[in-house]
Chain A
Amino acid sequence: MKRFARCLLAVFSSLGTSCILLVLLGLLTWLGTLEQTRTGLFEVQRKYFESFFLVHRFGSIPIPLPGANLVMCLLAVNLFVGGLVRIRKSWATFGIIVAHVGIAMLLASALVKYEWSEDGHVTLYEGQRADHFESYFRWEIALIRKEDDGKTREWLVPHERIEDAQRSRVRVSMTDVPFELEIESLARNCRPEWAKDAGAHGPIVVDGVRLVSRAVDARAEANIAGACVSVVDERDGIRRRALLWGAEAKPFTFFAAGKPWALSLRKERYEMPFALQLARFTKEDHPGIDMPKSFQSDVKVASAGVERDVKISMNEPLRDGGLVLYQASWGPSNARPGDRLFSTFAVVRNPADQWPLAACLVIAAGLLFHFVRKLVRYVQLEARAA
């Protein structure tokens, strides 16, 4: 048993394993990049980089491969065991160990970003203001209650719970809410239409309307989800059934327990610690053609009663309150001179935003130490030989 453990340890800590894993990562990156010509970025990410195993089709030949998730986990173990635990500790390897610490920091920053970051966008016309940004493809069901003071209170059913409705009914209870929500069905991509009849096996018909599923678009942001949700009040036996659609113009409103309520299926929203107002959007085209040479947004950032002017351009993001706002795009794409334009900012909330910079500095310091020491020893040996 000890022999097996030692053998396993030797395999996991070997340089050969490192090389094989790095080659596999390179292969997955190459295949994943090629796959994007046929499917969207989101699907490729899920299939190649967020999986443990996958089957890549080379023509009609299926090729099983480890997913990048598995490879990266093995690489992390390999780095920890071989590069930090089992490596000989001396001044000769000090720089290498420091560099490995830097790589471990990179891995940690990637883990934090993957697990705890939030990505989305905020789109504003000139003069418009926003205090939240929206996900590109994650959905939420918002149960909204109008309070006596005119404000609203929201309970949010997260994306993962909504997705569960593809397999079974989902019953959601909420603190301080006198009824439950039951998500009866979910379509990842659908469109509403008048129901001709209420077939026993077809989509659920409510109020003469049904949501008809469409093929899921490889571009995740192009899908419009829909759900059938019932408001179930066990106290009086009332069951209100509603269809929710991701592109609906108005939420489903109803009255319960003396309060007005609303239900809405929408893209996940994340609050920003400040309000953002687009003051002016400017776009400079290349001479003679419509292709933009540069574009930028003058925004007002208001926080804690203080307002300041900020310019966001393609290479100058706004960093504030743990968020990074990049100038992502603008529109409408077919706008003519004088038309009102909107500006879109890609927003990332990444707790490890600056960690890669620190990791690179650590790696650079370790390698610098290592190579300078090597150089000094080489010069010393040459001098002795002379």
Chain B
Amino acid sequence: MNEWMRHCAGLGIAGASVFAFGCANRSENVVTSKIETSRIVENSKIDFSAQPSHAERFGLVASTRPTHDPHAPDADDSKSQFTWNTPGGWSELPSSSMRVANFRPAGDERAECYLTMLAGEAGGLTANINRWRSQLSLGGVSAADVEQLPRVDFFGRKAVVVEATGTWTGMSGGDSKSAWALLALALVEPGGSVFLKMTGPKNTVASQREAFLALAASFGAPGQPAAKVDDTAGGFAFELPNAWRRGPPKNSRALSFWAGEGEVVECYVTVLGGTAGGELANVNRWRTQLGIASVDEAAIGVLDPFTMLGRPAHVVELVGETSAIFGVTCMGEDKSVFVKMTGPVELVRKQRSAMLAFASSLKETPTR
């Protein structure tokens, strides 16, 4: 009986519902609500300094990441068990019998990028490169020319980097598009060949070059997690801190990142010839950007020493009214390298240690 009676609160529920919805004003399909109270908790176990990714928070591990669309009718499970990190702004497309991994690069829907695997040498390295060149209405190259092409790491081996620009005639030769470009990696070996190929409008391919190389470096062998930490681009190898992502490429920058959540704190690497006007001039230029007064040579002498690229460097920390710059200057006679992080003061401070770890991990690796 008592159990029944507990349910007699119907009228009370109706009243409470009216009250609750009275607190929530609906307008344009958005319910608004105000929380007036808060409470203090003495012993919180939250690690606020950690900024785990969503995958880490949810217990997803990179090796469990699906690498193909299970609904794609032509998917070849035996080939597609690779892992990779899709660059920001790129989208993954269903794989097919020929394309083990298939992507649409950022910037232009006409651009495409895909990974193919063929048995044996697939006709040979030079033949494949010349086939690609013919698709761009270009003449063939010799084996000696191919030997001169740059190499990058790809599936743990050295793959040839092929770049070409011309008029695209397509694989069937019936499709003509001018100012088209190709960027591809070719790994040809008797045991099997792998090709990663990106084609599209010239400007798009140029702007996605770093992303393409990062994608190539991220490919992992079956059962291995994607190479998430070590990265190679812009002539550098580096360790990408957690919660950092590639930022939009810019002409003057060798590398560009968003540091932390959102697109608020930007960090980039710049390489300039010679001494680039000197360390003092560069530091004062940064100070001007923050609206703070310039300093003289004595201020350079008290900067914190640092080592980057195996050379002596300085740590520069500048705080403006709302923004901050945290950077590393590495001056040299042949060239000078700058790592610079900018953004709101608090957020920049938050990323200081990550930035220093990134700067110390930088290594020069020629990509051309």
Contacts and interface: CB of A to CB of B under 8 A. Distances in A.
Interface string B45-78: 0111111111111111000111001000000000
Interface in A205-256: 206-209, 236, 238-240, 242-243, 245, 248-256
A214 B66 CA distance: 19
A284 interface: no
A194 B44 contact: no
Contact of B41 (A151, A161, A174, A175): A151
B344 interface: yes
A106 interface: yes
A171 B32 contact: yes
Given A110-B9, A152-B41, A153-B40, A258 B1 contact: no
B105 to A, nearest CB: 14
B222 to A, nearest CB: 17
Contacts of A248: 57-58
Given A146-B48, A171-B32, A250-B52, A209 B347 contact: no
Given A171-B33, A172-B33, A207-B53, A72 B48 contact: no
Contact of A114 (B7, B46, B53, B350): B7
Contacts of A114: 6-9, 12-13
B346 interface: yes
A123 B37 CA distance: 27
Interface in B209-256: none
A198 B91 contact: yes
Nearest to A73: B10
A278 B58 CA distance: 29
B11 interface: yes
Contacts of A243: 54, 58
Nearest to B351: A255
A258 B347 CA distance: 8
B309 interface: no
Interface residues of B, number: 64
A160 B66 CA distance: 35
Contact of B55 (A153, A167, A208): A208
B29 interface: yes
B58 A68 contact: no
Contact of B33 (A161, A196, A256): A161
A169 B30 contact: yes
B128 interface: no
- B interface, over-half SS: mixed
Contacts of A75: 8
A185 to B, nearest CB: 13
Contact of A110 (B2, B34, B36, B53): B2
Contacts of A198: 91
B2 A154 contact: no
A113 interface: yes
B320 to A, nearest CB: 15
Interface stretch (B109-117, B155-163, B259-267, B333-341): B259-267
Interface in A354-385: 356
A152 B44 contact: yes
A52 interface: yes
B50 to A, nearest CB: 6
A106 B55 contact: no
A128 interface: no
Interface in B13-32: 13, 16, 20, 24, 26, 29-32
A260 to B, nearest CB: 4
Given A69-B13, A73-B10, A106-B5, A154 B39 contact: yes
Given A160-B20, A173-B32, A240-B261, A254 B7 contact: no
A168 B35 contact: no
A208 B59 CA distance: 13
A211 to B, nearest CB: 9
B93 interface: yes
A151 B44 contact: yes
Contact of B29 (A50, A168, A250): A168
Given A153-B39, A169-B29, A171-B30, A194 B60 contact: yes
B153 interface: no
B35 A175 contact: yes
Contact of A260 (B30, B48, B53): B48
Contacts of A155: 35, 37-38
A261 B38 CA distance: 14
Interface string A111-134: 101110000000000000000000
Contact of B5 (A107, A169, A197): A107
B163 to A, nearest CB: 28
A247 B214 CA distance: 33
Nearest to A198: B91
B7 A110 contact: yes
A70 B38 contact: no
A153 B5 contact: no
A10 interface: no
Interface in A149-194: 151-157, 160-161, 164, 167-176, 192-194
Top 8 nearest A-B pairs (CB, nearest first) are A72-B8, A69-B10, A260-B48, A110-B5, A110-B6, A192-B58, A207-B54, A114-B9
26 contacts: A49-B7, A69-B9, A72-B5, A73-B11, A114-B12, A115-B12, A144-B46, A152-B40, A154-B41, A168-B31, A170-B30, A173-B32, A173-B34, A194-B64, A197-B69, A197-B91, A197-B93, A207-B55, A209-B55, A209-B58, A239-B262, A245-B58, A248-B58, A250-B47, A253-B48, A260-B48
